[in-house]
Amino acid sequence: MPIEERIGNYRILSPIAAGGMGRVYLAKEETNERHIAVKVLPDEFLKDRKRSQYLEREVKIARQLKHPNVIDIYGLHVQKGIGYLLMEFMDGGNLRQHIQTRNPSLYEVLSLIVKICTGLHYIHHHKFGDARFHSIIHRDIKPENILLSQKEEVKVADFGLSMPESSWGWRGLSTRAGTPFYMSPEQIRGKSLDIRTDIYSLGLVMYELLTGQLPYKAQDKVMYMKTVISKKNRPAPPSFLDKRIPRQFDEITLKALEYEPTARYQTVAELMLDLKRLPPVFKQLSA
């Protein structure tokens, strides 16, 4: 279905991307010339009452998240029975495109991961306006959901799958929702999730930034998921694929990718602390 030429006060300019959670377009606000991103939501989000309630709650949560490393959500607009998510536009593409078009240095990898960690830590430990604390699980951390700007800003995006760990009520969305190649073992198995599932996914992003590939190879996503949930399989250290990668990067990445959540970093802050302890010489070696 073609998109409307105008969504509320915004004029649609061009498509940006398409994915499982909807098509995304660049739009411009006609009153002040501000550019934003408009995501066209799948029909079922409005037609199904539970999904609609879930979506409204997600937007309410997301609008409260204000951080330099988290994408800004402006609101939800419904027009002619179609839902549109209005959000901040990032003019530098996503991390997937960054990986494919350039070979980042170790220092660039470190800088990117620290910024992603900073945003994710904020999401995990956000306190709402009424002083309630809920740990929000993103559940779909992957390169496509890390957005960049020409000013070297890095922001975590797409909270369509996030949910607080406790007491928001509805639990209708399967814990397996997410992207198969970036799921933790417990997410693939449909087990109860906490913030450590995001840490595993973050470890995969870090592994891919360091080596240019994921830690496992398989013919398809089903075989890949079977490989991940097998305790017999352990990721090779990133330095096995690139000898220039220092041992300290191996240790941090593999700890994030531990099979058992209890063996991983328990918080993003712990991971970030180890990253910041890396020797300053990395900046000179990898510049």
Which of the residues are catalytic? 140
Tokens found for residue 13: 């300019």
> Which among 20, 53, 75 has a CA at the least distance from the CA of 172?
53
Say which residue the tokens 């602390």 belong to.
Answer: 273
Find out whether 274 and 256 touch, Cβ atoms under 8 Å: no
Query: Could you give the residue ranges of the DSSP H alpha helices within 212-262?
Result: 221-229, 238-241, 247-256
Q: How far apart are CA 72 and CA 54, in angstroms?
A: 19
204 SS3 class? helix
Residue 126 gets the label, from left (phi > 0), alpha (psi -120 to 50) or beta, of beta
Q: What contacts 11, CB < 8 A, 6 or more positions away? A: 5, 27, 28, 30
HSE (side-chain half, CA atoms, 13 Å) at 268: 27
Q: How far apart are CA 123 and CA 109, in angstroms?
A: 21
Q: How far is CA 110 from the centre of its chain?
A: 17
Cβ burial 200-238 (10 Å sphere, 16+ → b, else e): bbbbbbbbbbbbeebbbeeeeeeebbeebeeeeeebebb
